[in-house]
């Protein structure tokens, strides 16, 4: 059985996340807006040059309907260089402080795989969601730290590291292999007393295009975990390579996959384009009313 007895407290699926005593409602799908404060994002349209642009983009995302703003200061695109913790914090801290000051009611997520970065951010602005693309693989103290901080944690499947994850990744069965990985991690998170876990199957993180589309087609397989599911396919190569375009022209394809992801049970859409994702959710609700 994929879910062990130690993970039993997750068996009754939660419809909320507890972020510092404030509940985020997941009874209906929500949108997470991506804010990259890196100089080397794979999508040029997401590059943010200064604080003024950051705040304008954050305001637009919130106005367009984003429930969460996900701020990342280190690129994890395939083959990217890993910067130091010091450099990550120099980019990240001013950004999260500015957003907290200007949008005090906004729910903030930080895209980091370093537990010390999470601690420093929360020392400055209070509780945030931690979005760890490595599933704790790149920092052995991450689960323990999240358990102590009592904040929601996004558990992502990644095969390898950003430097080598796309070097011929192989699976016996992509769904079974990822499910086994997630089951092991959920068990460890339970032991660390992490109360709110979101699972992300990790589109593009150590997967060939065929693997990614099998994940889309079988996304409902992850319902067995009774945990919220996040899908992040926004403008990724699995979209633009199929369409023979570039990330700048991959919005329509992203919208198609986000629609399929909702039909497969996704609870959170992580996107660059919030308004379009909110449109997808509106159409999804209209479809559900006819069922």
Catalytic residues, by residue number, are: 236, 270
Token pair listed for 111: 């895209």
Closest C-alpha among 224, 208, 213 to residue 265? 224
Pair 30, 229: CB distance under 8 Å: no
SS3 235: coil
Pair 135, 156: CB distance under 8 Å: yes
Q: Counting Cβ atoms within 10 Å, is residue 119 exposed (0-12), middle (13-18) or buried (19+)?
A: middle
Pair 158, 134: CB distance under 8 Å: yes
* Phi–psi pair at 140, nearest 5 degrees: -65, -15
Please enumerate in sequence order all residues whose Cβ is within 8 A of that of 72, keeping only pairs 6 or more positions apart, or say none.
34, 35, 36, 37, 38, 92, 110, 111, 112, 131
* Phi–psi pair at 60, nearest 5 degrees: -65, -40
Closest C-alpha among 263, 243, 228, 264 to residue 109? 228
End-to-end CA distance of the chain: 31
Scored b (16 or more CB within 10 A) or e, 239-258 reads bbeeeeeebeebbebbbebb
21: left (phi over 0), alpha (psi -120 to 50) or beta: left
Pair 273, 61: CB distance under 8 Å: no
């Amino acid at each position: 059985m994929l879910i062990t007895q130690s993970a039993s407290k997750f068996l009754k699926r939660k419809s909320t996340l507890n972020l510092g005593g404030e509940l985020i409602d997941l009874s209906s799908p929500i949108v997470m807006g991506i804010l990259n404060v890196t100089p080397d994002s794979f999508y040029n349209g997401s590059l943010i040059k200064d604080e003024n642009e950051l705040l304008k983009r954050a305001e637009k995302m919130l106005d367009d309907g984003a429930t969460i703003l996900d701020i990342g200061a280190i690129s994890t695109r395939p083959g990217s260089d890993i910067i130091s913790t010091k450099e990550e914090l120099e980019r990240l801290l001013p950004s999260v402080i500015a957003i907290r000051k200007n949008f005090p009611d906004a729910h903030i997520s930080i895209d980091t795989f370093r537990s010390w970065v999470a601690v420093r951010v929360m020392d400055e602005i209070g509780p945030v969601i931690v979005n760890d693309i490595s599933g704790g693989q790149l920092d052995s103290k991450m689960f323990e730290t999240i358990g102590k901080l009592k904040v929601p944690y996004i558990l992502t499947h990644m095969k390898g590291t950003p430097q080598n994850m796309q070097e011929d990744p192989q699976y016996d069965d992509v769904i079974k292999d990822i499910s086994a990985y997630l089951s092991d991690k959920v068990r460890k998170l339970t032991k660390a007393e992490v109360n709110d876990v979101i699972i992300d199957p990790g589109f593009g993180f150590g997967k060939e295009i065929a693997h990614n589309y099998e994940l889309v087609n079988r996304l409902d397989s992850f319902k067995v975990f009774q945990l919220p599911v996040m899908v992040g396919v926004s403008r990724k190569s699995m979209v633009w390579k199929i369409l023979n375009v570039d990330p700048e022209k991959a919005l329509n394809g992203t919208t198609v996959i986000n629609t399929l992801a909702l039909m497969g049970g996704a609870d959170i859409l992580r996107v660059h384009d919030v308004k379009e994702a909110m449109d997808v959710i509106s159409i999804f609700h209209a479809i559900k009313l006819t069922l």
